[in-house]
Amino acid sequence: MLQTQLLSNHHFNFGRRGRDSSVGRAGKCDVHRLEEGPPLKAELTREQGLRYYRIMQTVRRMELKADQLYKQKIIRGFCHLYDGQEACAVGIEAAINPSDHLITAYRAHGYTYTRGIAVKEILAELTGRRGGVAKGKGGSMHMYAPHFYGGNGIVGAQVPLGAGIALACQYQGNNQVCVALYGDGAANQGQLFESFNMAALWKLPCIFTCENNQYGMGTSVERASASTDYYKRGDFIPGIRVDGMDVLCVREAFKFAAEHCRSGKGPIVMELKTYRYHGHSMSDPGVSYRTREEIQEVRSKSDPITMLKERMLSNNMASVEEFKEIDIAIRKEVEEAAQYATSDPEPPLEELCNHIFSNDSPLEVRGTNPWARLKSVS
Amino acid sequence: MAASVRCFLRSGKNAVSALGRRGFHKSAPAAVQMMVRDALNQAMDEELERDERVFLLGEEVAQYDGAYKVSRGLWKKYGDKRIIDTPITEMGFAGIAVGAAMAGLRPICEFMTFNFSMQAIDQIINSAAKTYYMSAGFQAVPIVFRGPNGASAGVAAQHSQCFAAWYAHCPGLKVVSPWNAEDAKGLLKSAIRDDNPVVFLENELMYGVPFEMSEESQSKDFTIPIGKAKVERQGTHVSLVSHSRYVSHCLDAAVVLAKEGIECEVINLRTIRPLDVECIETSVMKTNHLVTVEGGWPQFGVGAEICARIMEGPAFNYLDAPATRVTGVDIPMPYAKILEDNSLPQIKDIIFSVKKTLNV
């Protein structure tokens, strides 16, 4: 067991243009329209620590494997990698229940995993095989799981969807909440403000969450947003800014947020300050709009996995060997998953037109020419 | 049924009192007359009662009783939870409706007119229509988007567009376009019970038009299958294929043409997507002539699709003349009455086109 001080001396700095983007004052989250924020202390058990470590490391290795497969041209199209941001997905999942709901945008592989899909099904979806979580029909941006609504390709569109899922929770009286994630780029979308308005009016149990990784594709936050206080952008909705590199901070903040929503107080806006090591996608090297030094600095000072490991080691909660064993096991799992993803066959052509409609009788679908009469079943 | 509906039998007698005098009647119960808006209201009322997951949201649907009074009385009966007034934020509330459908509810999302659906079209296409496919059958989206479509009267260019062709272009959507009150009731009930996204195109000018409702259609379980057209009038010389308000125009044109010995077969499409090509083909193979009639613009429209499909199928060889399309004029809708009247198909245009097609 470890009683730990949150946000102790961890500053999340950028040296660019002299702007010091540190996260929170020591020990506290910035809050908006809230009397109090999440607790300053958290308990971390050994079991929890090892679990969070394992999950974050799995996401990390999975994303790096995807990078490798993409460069080998085995993955094609869009591939937006999540390495660097692991503490967000893992911290959120640690705070909510599997019966709660979550929706995000296209940087979704990490959440697909934390919401319950195996690495091999994620990689096989990226390689477009029949064993992929969406049978090869969705690809990187369209993976789904129970109470996980993707994976959405259109920037911002997932946020009203998330508010709608929260409406369903309220309507059904099931005490569940919905976490609706978006990035700093999407934070300026009009439909977000439409969602904020309705969520506040109707007190929807929606945790609007901005994963602020400082860049919307190649545009830094200062160049895109008149206000970069994303946790305040909900205006009349309370907000909290959280160190998104610290899995415990994220967990405690989301426990607070979920309680806020479940108690009927309405929506809340979260801002997670985080960072992505890769560029926006695999077609973006990620160094034309930021320096390699900046990336390296975050890696060495704020890496979420390293921080957790060091915290546990310095508190004698686990040994170096134990972490090594976990790493080896994960490497094996990811390697086997990649094997599966590269050897599994592609989806059969007979299934090309299936899944147009749910619960419907079979229909005929026109192919590329009038004589191509294809069959579609639900 | 809303008490304010005035039902008239063909004789002009009040239907309610006629039904009340049931006592010694030996003849079948009188068919009821109902306006399209009341048929839509009844459909929603019955489905709201039948399934508690069904709810309605949109601008003015609750306390205002509906911008066109289609949802009159529903808020009073079902309350805030099931009938929700939204702010004027189409993209937001359409997205919310789609999200609610993903999470287990069965929303009816009303657009005050389909012109405003353009603001929400990304949610309709990318979030609703494509999701079942992208998820390989994991995530269904049981939602109905409904509202008035096409031209009204004097509302000018931004409020008069027909979206049938736009939505019917997209796989993953069903697109329905009822004509009369029975269509409205039966098809809306089917749309609400359908587990897929359905775009339900009503017509404002039809809302106040009364039609006879068969006894069958008065049942709470009356549905009309989506994807099946109906032959409203049998004929032998030409197939007139239409949807929504223009079915009336076709029937009126048929009456005039019959006096000159031309018998028109009038087909009411009822559904735009999936198109009931078989019904059209069967008709064309009988009449050898095809004229499509729609309110929308000609280019890349419903009529264009029908012509292409006929060419690709067995009915082509039975055509004695190229198919003809009667459509709205290819311009934004003007305001002045004389201009507006001449922007849309009139009965004389249909008559003229039929005669040209028949070369008489």
Place of tokens 């079943």: A377
Q: Are A346 and A136 in contact (CB under 8 A)?
A: yes
Q: What is the pTM of this model?
A: 0.93
Place of tokens 């989250």: A29
Q: How many Cβ atoms are within 10 Å of B165's Cβ, its own excluded?
A: 21
Residue A317 identity (one-letter amino acid): M
Catalytic-role residue among B90, B110, B232, B340: B90
Secondary structure element (H or E) that encloses residue A209, with its range: strand A206-212
Q: How far is B123 from chain A (nearest CA, A)?
A: 7
Task: Please give the C-alpha separations between residue B239 and each of A242, A267, B229, B265, B285, in angstroms, as whole numbers.
Answer: 67, 57, 13, 5, 9
Question: Could you give the CA distance from residue A55 to residue A90 in angstroms, rounded to a whole number?
Answer: 7
Q: Do B95 and A142 touch (CB under 8 A)?
A: no
B159 is catalytic: yes
Task: Please give the C-alpha separations between residue B264 and each of A75, A125, A318, B316, in angstroms, as whole numbers.
Answer: 57, 54, 86, 19
- The mean per-residue pLDDT over the stretch A253-280 comes to 98
- Secondary structure, 3-state, B188-215: HHHHHHCCCCEEEEECHHHCCCEEEECC
Which of B277, B199, B280, B271 lies closest to A373 in space, CA to CA?
Answer: B277
Residues of B in contact with A150 (CB under 8 A): 131, 134-135, 139
Q: Are B194 and B142 in contact (CB under 8 A)?
A: yes
Q: Are A148 and A102 in contact (CB under 8 A)?
A: yes
**DSSP, residue by residue, B82-133:** TEEE--S-HHHHHHHHHHHHHTT-EEEEE-SSGGGGGGGHHIIIIIIITHHH
Q: Do B105 and A171 touch (CB under 8 A)?
A: yes
Residue A155 identity (one-letter amino acid): V
Q: Do B95 and A191 touch (CB under 8 A)?
A: yes
Measured in whole angstroms, the distance separating CA B275 from the mean position of its chain's CA atoms is 13
Q: Are B38 and B74 in contact (CB under 8 A)?
A: no
Could you give the percent of chain A with pLDDT greater than 90? 92
Shortest CA distance from A377: residue in chain B: B137
Q: What is the pLDDT of residues A235-250, one digit of tens each?
A: 999 999 999 999 999 9
Buried/exposed A258-286: b ≥16 CB within 10 Å, e otherwise: bebbeeeebbbbbbbbbbbbbbbbbeeeb
18-37 of B, contacting A, C-beta below 8 A: none
Residues of B in contact with A136 (CB under 8 A): 136
Residue A56 identity (one-letter amino acid): M
Q: Are A106 and A153 in contact (CB under 8 A)?
A: yes
Strand partners, A42: A4
Q: Do B87 and A163 touch (CB under 8 A)?
A: no
Q: Do B100 and A154 touch (CB under 8 A)?
A: no
Residues of B in contact with A149 (CB under 8 A): 99, 102-103, 139
Nearest to B136 among A134, A162, A166 (CB): A134
Nearest to A168 among B95, B100, B122 (CB): B100
Model confidence at A3: pLDDT above 80: no
CB proximity list for A176: less than 8 A, separation 6 or greater = A97, A99, A100, A101, A169, A205
Place of tokens 């390293």: A306
B340 is catalytic: no
Q: What is the pLDDT of residues B190-228, one digit of tens each?
A: 999 999 999 999 999 999 999 999 999 999 999 999 999
Question: Could you give the CA distance from residue A210 to residue A316 in angstroms, rounded to a whole number?
Answer: 34
Which of B347, B280, B348 lies closest to B311 in space, CA to CA?
Answer: B280
Q: Do B95 and A157 touch (CB under 8 A)?
A: yes
Model confidence at A288: pLDDT above 70: yes
Task: Please give the C-alpha separations between residue B169 and each of A154, B151, B294, in angstroms, as whole numbers.
Answer: 20, 20, 16
Q: What is the pLDDT of residues A84-129, one digit of tens each?
A: 999 999 999 999 999 999 999 999 999 999 999 999 999 999 999 9
Tokens standing for residue A370: 């009038």
- In degrees, rounded to 5, the angle at the alpha carbon of residue A197 between the alpha carbons of residues B158 and B192 is 65
Q: Are B85 and B60 in contact (CB under 8 A)?
A: yes
Which of A94, A8, A57 lies closest to A318 in space, CA to CA?
Answer: A57
- Higher-confidence position of B156 and A9: B156
Residue A21 identity (one-letter amino acid): S
Which of A39, A46, A42 lies closest to A1 in space, CA to CA?
Answer: A46
Question: Could you give the CA distance from residue B209 to residue B1 in angstroms, rounded to a whole number?
Answer: 16
Q: How far is A69 from chain B (nearest CA, A)?
A: 22
Q: Are A164 and B98 in contact (CB under 8 A)?
A: yes
Secondary structure element (H or E) that encloses residue A295, with its range: helix A292-302
Question: Could you give the CA distance from residue B227 to residue B239 in angstroms, rounded to a whole number?
Answer: 19
* pLDDT tens-place values along chain B, 360 residues long: 444 444 444 444 444 444 444 445 555 566 799 999 999 999 999 999 999 999 999 999 999 999 999 999 999 999 999 999 999 999 999 999 999 999 999 999 999 999 999 999 999 999 999 999 999 999 999 999 999 999 999 999 999 999 999 999 999 999 999 999 999 999 999 999 999 999 999 999 999 999 999 999 999 999 999 999 999 999 999 999 999 999 999 999 999 999 999 999 999 999 999 999 999 999 999 999 999 999 999 999 999 999 999 999 999 999 999 999 999 999 999 999 999 999 999 999 999 999 999 999
Q: Quote the strand ranges of chain B, DSSP E.
A: 32-35, 54-58, 83-85, 106-110, 144-148, 174-176, 198-202, 210-213, 230-233, 238-242, 264-268, 271-273, 290-293, 324-326
**A320-343 helix and A46-71 helix, angle to the nearest 10 degrees:** 40
Q: Is the peptide bond before B274 cis (omega within 30 degrees of 0)?
A: yes
User: Predicted confidence band at A28 (pLDDT cuts at 50, 70, 90)?
Assistant: confident
By the CB < 8 Å criterion, does B318 face chain A? no
41-80 of B, contacting A, C-beta below 8 A: 55
Nearest to B135 among A134, A153, A172 (CB): A134
Q: How far is A220 from chain B (nearest CA, A)?
A: 26
Task: Please give the C-alpha separations between residue A311 and each of A3, A6, A53, A63, B333, in angstroms, as whole numbers.
Answer: 11, 11, 11, 24, 69
Model confidence at A276: pLDDT above 50: yes
